[in-house]
Amino acid sequence: MTEEQMTLIKTLIKKHGILATDGEWTLVFLGASYGLTEKQIDSYLIADTLDLLAKHEKMLCILFGIEPESNGEIQRMENPAERLQMLLAEYLAHNQSKQGYEEVMEYVIRDTGLSAAQIEQLRKAVEAKMPAEDVLEMARNRKDVMEIRRCIEFYEMMEKEQEPQEKAKKNRRERR
């Protein structure tokens, strides 16, 4: 731990009147250790709750860059372990999709054989959240504009059909 982190911990403990036996002490220590700023740590320490788990979840959301309020389904889950699993799954899915699309972007930038219309359709495929490997395959195979457009439409159709099934699965999980 750096001197800067130790100073931050001391400042926050004094600022919030936290005793060594208080649970918040751990949250301050963890936040500083993870490299969060004073403002970020303050945001979960002053949360409108005495529940340490809720404050801990808020700290993790800040750390992972997830907006907890954006997904009401996660917040409605009563089991804290399941809530944490869902938060992590959301974080990992978001991160993996970003990384995959970076590869698509690099390919499109380097490949001089793709037309502007093909690039536009590939952009729309990314916008539709098609799996990055599928978008990359379409780019590498130099699918024509209409083929890419039809693939996007087919993907969107399949996603709409799967939405009710996924909602039913989540509802069953929540009832358990």
The reply to whether 92 and 164 lie within a common domain is: yes
- In a shared domain, residues 82 and 53: no
Q: What separation in angstroms does the CA of 163 have from each of 66, 94, 158, 167, 171?
A: 22, 18, 9, 6, 12
Q: Look at residue 145 and tell me whether its pLDDT is greater than 90.
A: yes
Q: How many domains does the chain have?
A: 2
Q: Are residues 112 and 39 in the same domain?
A: no
pLDDT band at 124 (very low <50, low <70, confident <90, very high): very high
Asked if residue 71 has pLDDT above 60, the reply is no
In a shared domain, residues 7 and 84: no
Helix (H) or strand (E) holding 9: helix 3-16
- Average pLDDT of every residue of the chain: 84
Asked if 15 and 45 count as a contact pair (C-beta separation under 8 A), the reply is: no
pLDDT of residue 164: 73
Q: What is the pLDDT of residue 176?
A: 61
| Per-residue model confidence as pLDDT tens digits over 72-94 | 666 677 787 887 887 777 777 76
Integer Cα distance of 13 and 143 in angstroms:
60
Cα separation, 103 vs 132, whole angstroms: 8
Does any domain span residue 113? yes
Q: Can you give the residue range of the structural domain that contains 14?
A: 3-65
Q: Phi first, then psi: what are they for 163, rounded to 5°?
A: -55, -50
The predicted structure's pLDDT at residue 141: 92
Please indicate, yes or no, whether residues 46 and 116 belong to a single structural domain of this protein. Answer: no
Asked if residue 49 has pLDDT above 90, the reply is no
**C-alpha torsion sign, points 48, 88, 126, 147:** negative
